[in-house]
């Protein structure tokens, strides 16, 4: 693999850094915003969920638009939306304006969550596709951590410009810097060669493959992609992803992406300060939240060594088991009100570590690699659309569940969901480790019997 391939994959993955930053930065502002705008639990849930709701159309249309305009052009649009959202959140004059700009940020996040995995999967050699695809997750994790660090530093900065009443503005506007950097770096990356072949721009694709692969491999890759695309008509309607030929794999991708949110990972990152407020460990809740971001990063790095070696399915099964146990333990500790020690924090760290090196590592790789070339854009968007619908539901309902049902019942519920996910993975998820993109359709037909669906 050439270093050039790593560089352009990393640039595409920067959209994931902004994805992680924008989704997690809200955690550090909730306490201030609750008092600043006098918000109820439902309004807090609505503010957090606004970004997730924006992600739904963003993810749904991104793949289809990228099939028409190209992966690179749509990533540039995504970067511009990030800029608008960061500026808007920083100067919002009312709660309604803040929700609108959070929604715009959500459009960008949804688009980035679909486009970066598609782009990376289409330029990555099969043997390292898992690790290159994981650059998206690594960038998301770095974005989450950077947002926690940024929030912590801003909250502990006393000056004439940054006060207790307006620090939330600086926290939310901080995304402006990486947004501008992302836009300018995108100007230097090439278009996806597989998309170019879909558009009959073969010579241009050949030149780009030549920069990604060594000469002989580049020519072979062009021939493989051309042969795969020529099997069917060039133009694909969105409705075709539900045809009998593709329905099975689209079902698997959609449900898989949706239930990834039911692990409960984002209730930790979005609402960590609210959770830590309910414990009796003392210390800064923002600092404890920052520690969760560090753990997330460490175990994401561990996943790099595992995903192309252990495989996707084994990681998912192991992660669901550990995460389910952790959620049940946390629920039990809240039920017994045994919160005057660091066991809750340690259990949360184990939970985050398990997610980071299993579901977090596999999600963005898997949803972009399981679909055939000709439907990848639309099918990946549809799968990630399911992810964000589920995310919006979880984001909105968690503070209501926390105040209405109590922490114990809430975490017990997520524990049972994680345990139940083992059944879905066991029955429907097929292994893709080391399988070429052009061979995956045949692979899932062979390994996933129709009777299972």
φ, ψ dihedrals at 318, nearest 5°: -65, -40
Q: Where are the alpha helices (DSSP H) in 25-40?
A: 30-36
Q: Residue 367 is part of a domain; what is its CATH number? A: 1.20.1250.20
- Taking every pair of C-alpha atoms in the chain, what is the biggest distance, in angstroms? 67
3-class SS at 203? helix
Number of domains in the chain: 1
The structure tokens listed for 357 are 């090196």
376 occurs within a structural domain: yes
217 occurs within a structural domain: no
pLDDT by position in tens, the chain (length 453): 678 889 999 999 999 899 889 888 887 888 889 888 988 878 888 888 898 889 889 988 988 899 889 999 999 999 999 999 999 999 998 999 999 999 999 999 999 988 998 899 888 877 777 778 778 888 988 998 899 889 889 988 877 788 878 899 999 999 999 999 999 999 999 999 989 998 889 999 999 998 888 777 778 888 888 887 776 545 567 888 888 888 888 999 999 999 998 888 877 766 666 666 666 555 566 677 778 888 989 998 898 888 888 888 999 999 999 999 999 998 898 888 877 777 888 888 899 999 999 998 898 888 878 888 778 888 888 998 888 888 888 878 887 887 888 888 988 999 999 988 999 999 999 888 877 777 777 766 665 554 444
Distance CA 172, CA 162 (A): 13
pTM above 0.85, yes or no: no
377 with 63: CB under 8 angstroms? yes
440 occurs within a structural domain: yes
How buried is 138 (Cβ within 10 angstroms: 0-12 exposed, 13-18 middle, 19+ buried)?
Answer: buried
The structure tokens listed for 97 are 């304006």
* Domain that residue 314 falls in: 3-189+231-452
226 occurs within a structural domain: no
Q: Where are the alpha helices (DSSP H) in 278-431?
A: 285-306, 312-335, 343-356, 359-369, 376-404, 407-428
Query: Could you tell me which of 89, 118, 102, 101 has the C-alpha nearest to residue 16?
Result: 118
φ, ψ dihedrals at 282, nearest 5°: 80, 175
203 occurs within a structural domain: no
């Amino acid at each position: 693999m050439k270093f050039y391939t790593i560089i352009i994959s990393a640039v595409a993955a920067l959209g994931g850094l902004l994805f992680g930053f924008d989704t997690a930065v809200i955690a550090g502002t909730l306490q201030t915003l609750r008092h600043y705008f006098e918000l109820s639990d439902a309004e807090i849930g609505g503010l957090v969920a606004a970004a997730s709701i924006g992600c739904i159309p963003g993810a749904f249309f991104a793949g289809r638009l990228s099939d028409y305009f190209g992966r690179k052009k749509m990533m540039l649009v995504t970067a511009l939306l990030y800029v608008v959202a960061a500026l808007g959140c920083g100067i919002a004059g009312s709660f309604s304006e803040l929700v609108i700009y959070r929604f715009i940020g959500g459009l960008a996040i949804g688009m980035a969550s679909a486009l970066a995995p598609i782009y990376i999967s289409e330029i990555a050699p099969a043997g390292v596709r898992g690790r290159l695809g994981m650059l998206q997750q690594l960038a998301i994790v770095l974005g989450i951590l950077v947002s926690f660090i940024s929030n912590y530093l801003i909250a502990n900065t006393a000056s004439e410009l940054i006060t207790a009443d307006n620090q939330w503005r600086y926290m939310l506007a901080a995304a402006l810097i990486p947004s501008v950097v992302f836009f300018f770096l995108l100007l230097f990356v090439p278009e996806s060669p597989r998309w170019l072949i879909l558009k009959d721009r073969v010579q241009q694709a050949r030149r780009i493959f030549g920069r990604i692969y060594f000469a002989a491999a580049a020519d072979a890759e062009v021939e493989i992609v051309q042969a795969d695309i020529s099997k069917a008509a060039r133009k694909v309607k969105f409705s075709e992803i539900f045809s009998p030929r593709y329905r099975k794999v689209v079902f698997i991708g959609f449900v898989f992406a949706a239930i990834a949110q039911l692990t409960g990972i984002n209730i930790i990152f979005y609402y960590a300060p609210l959770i830590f407020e309910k414990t009796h460990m003392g210390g800064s809740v923002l600092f404890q939240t920052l520690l969760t971001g560090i753990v997330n990063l460490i175990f994401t790095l561990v996943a790099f060594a595992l995903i192309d070696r252990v495989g996707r399915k084994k990681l998912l099964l192991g992660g669901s088991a550990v995460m389910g146990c952790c959620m049940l333990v946390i629920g039990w500790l809240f039920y017994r009100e045994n919160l005057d020690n660091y066991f809750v924090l340690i259990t949360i760290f184990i939970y985050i570590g398990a997610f980071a090196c299993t579901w977090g590592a596999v999600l963005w790789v898997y949803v972009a690699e399981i679909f055939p070339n000709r439907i990848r854009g639309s099918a990946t968007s549809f799968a990630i659309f399911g992810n964000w619908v589920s995310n919006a539901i979880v984001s909105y309902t968690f503070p209501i569940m926390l105040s209405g049902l109590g922490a114990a019942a809430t975490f017990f519920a997520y524990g049972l969901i994680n345990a139940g996910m083992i059944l879905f993975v066991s029955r429907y998820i097929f292994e893709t480790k080391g399988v070429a993109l052009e061979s995956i359709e045949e692979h899932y037909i062979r390994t996933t019997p129709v009777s299972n669906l």
